Amino acid sequence: KVEVKAAIVSASGVLTIDCSAAAYFTTTLFENVTSVVLTNLPLGATGKTIMVKITQDSDTAKTVAFPSSFKWAGASTGVVSTTLSAVDVLAITSFDNGTTWNATLANGFA
């Protein structure tokens, strides 16, 4: 099965992920992200997995604040790489229609 990939851009510090648009997303950080919002989740008690390729800014490192609905392994919140132009991959999965998300952030892909 071929999956759709969509580019997303933050606006005023908000990175909106439209779950109906794709399962794979790419974004480049041009500003600090103070909020990640997931919209258009599938109806019903369905599961959903989202992957986001995050490329750090090439001039000044930016930050991402993840929502409290993201639950991290070992309760250690993921932090995006601060190396300029670094690539990280965020994987989030919900088993309860977006109430909570199991989150993993893999850092520093070359």
Give the amino acid at 15.
L
pLDDT bracket for residue 42 (50, 70, 90): confident
pLDDT bracket for residue 28 (50, 70, 90): very high
pTM of the model: 0.94
- Picking from 45-54, 58-67, 89-98, which range would have the lowest pLDDT averaged per residue? 45-54
Give the amino acid at 108.
G
Q: What is the pLDDT of residue 50?
A: 95
Q: How much is the average pLDDT of 32-59?
A: 91
Q: 23: which residues sit within 8 A by CB, 6+ positions away?
A: 3, 4, 48, 49, 50, 51
pLDDT bracket for residue 41 (50, 70, 90): confident
